């Protein structure tokens, strides 16, 4: 009665393993901890896409859903014999297969599997290619930033960030919120601190370690409010879109716009460091800098 999900992707820290396991569990009607997810093993798993560009949930999710649905229907055909009914009249929830019109007639998921014999197994297959060429395939987001600028030092203090992200219907809202936090932290670095500097004569990288390549710390991170408005999306597994790079794209633009509101200068050269701000303010620059 064990359930193994084999997928050709790897978990790069975005919760891919958790999300795909939850999709399979939901479709099979079992608790999420009943599914063991096997990832990143080219000997046993099928080929799949890489996990960049927030592709895992929108591309692998529907394939997992399809595979789980196929396996469920095969199991229902066997369980229907044990419950003396038609497999189309069966449903499953919390690891129990039951007759929809009379839920008292039921059998545990594991027992139905065990009745098939020790040498039997059920295999469900799923695929996703190509993705539909629809505008709804994209994820959308909006962010606002409140900040202060020290006119003597050029230091920027972020006071607050509000983010609204369209992830369709998040399968795991906590994971999605954590992705938004991480994306905003990336965006803060892009906008204000992170820069690859090279010696103009030798071409040697001057910011090759974390003492010189300035990444934001928790002290640089503003309070964040996250809103995840839900929307139906027929192209994805349970309407769930990807949540990754799309969370950091609005942040530099929101910071740049807030700096214009504070200083009257459009800064087009990232990162917007204190020296650039001081220079623009001393020169009385208005417009583009």
List, for residues 248-261, the tens digit of each pLDDT value. 889 999 999 999 99
- Paired with 153 in beta bridges are none
Catalytic residue (one of 73, 194, 195, 245): 245
Nearest alpha carbon to residue 25 among 106, 109, 90, 85: 109
Dmax over CA atoms of the chain, in Å, equals 85
Tell me if residue 74 falls in helix, strand or coil. Answer: helix
Q: What is the dihedral of CA 263, 152, 275, 190, to 10 degrees?
A: -60
Q: What is the pLDDT of residues 199-234, one digit of tens each?
A: 999 999 999 998 899 999 988 999 999 999 988 877
Over 70: is that where the pLDDT of 56 sits? yes
Q: What is the reported pLDDT for 14?
A: 81
**Between 235 and 101, whose confidence is greater?**
101
Q: What's the pLDDT band for 40 if we cut at 50, 70, 90?
A: confident
Tell me if residue 195 falls in helix, strand or coil. Answer: coil
Alpha carbon 213 to its chain's center: 27
Token couple for 164: 């609204």
What is the pLDDT of the chain when averaged over all its residues? 88
Q: What's the pLDDT band for 240 if we cut at 50, 70, 90?
A: confident
Measured CA to CA, the distance from residue 235 to residue 58 in angstroms comes to 8
Q: What is the reported pLDDT for 101?
A: 93
Q: What is the mean pLDDT of residues 52-69?
A: 86
Q: What is the mean pLDDT of residues 47-67?
A: 82
Over 70: is that where the pLDDT of 186 sits? yes
Domains of the chain by start residue, with CATH:
3-114 (3.30.365.10), 135-288 (3.30.365.10)
Over 70: is that where the pLDDT of 289 sits? no
Q: What is the pLDDT of residues 103-130, one digit of tens each?
A: 999 999 888 888 877 667 888 998 887 7
Q: Is 245 a catalytic residue?
A: yes
Q: What is the reported pLDDT for 41?
A: 79
Q: What is the pLDDT of residues 135-154, one digit of tens each?
A: 666 788 899 999 999 999 99
Over 80: is that where the pLDDT of 55 sits? no
Strands laid side by side in the 156-166 sheet: 140-149, 156-166, 224-227
Measured CA to CA, the distance from residue 67 to residue 76 in angstroms comes to 14
């Amino acid at each position: 009665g064990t359930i193994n999900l084999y997928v050709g992707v790897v978990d790069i820290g975005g919760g891919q393993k958790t999300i795909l396991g939850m999709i399979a569990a939901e479709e099979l009607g079992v608790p999420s901890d009943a599914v063991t997810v096997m990832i990143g093993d080219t000997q046993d798993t099928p080929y799949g896409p890489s996990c960049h560009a927030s592709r895992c949930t929108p591309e692998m999710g529907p394939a997992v859903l399809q595979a789980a649905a196929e396996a469920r229907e095969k199991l229902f055909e066997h369980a229907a014999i044990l419950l003396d009914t038609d497999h189309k009249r069966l449903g499953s929830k919390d690891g129990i297969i039951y007759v929809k019109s009379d839920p008292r007639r039921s059998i545990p998921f594991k027992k139905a599997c065990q009745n098939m014999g020790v040498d039997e197994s059920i295999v469900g297959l799923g695929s996703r290619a190509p993705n539909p060429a629809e505008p709804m395939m994209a994820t959308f987001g909006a962010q606002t930033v409140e900040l202060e600028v020290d006119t003597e030092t050029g230091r920027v203090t972020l006071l607050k960030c509000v983010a609204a992200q369209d992830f369709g219907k998040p399968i795991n809202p906590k994971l999605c919120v954590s992705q938004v936090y991480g994306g905003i932290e990336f965006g803060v670095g892009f906008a204000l601190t992170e820069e690859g500097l090279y010696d103009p004569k030798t071409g040697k990288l001057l910011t090759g370690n974390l003492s010189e390549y300035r990444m934001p710390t928790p002290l640089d991170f503003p309070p964040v409010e996250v809103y995840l408005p839900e929307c139906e999306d027929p192209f994805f597994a349970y309407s769930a879109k990807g949540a990754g790079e799309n969370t950091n794209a609005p942040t530099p633009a929101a910071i740049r716009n807030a700096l214009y509101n504070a200083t009257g200068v459009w800064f087009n050269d990232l990162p917007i460091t204190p020296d650039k701000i001081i220079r623009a303010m001393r020169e009385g620059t208005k417009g583009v800098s």
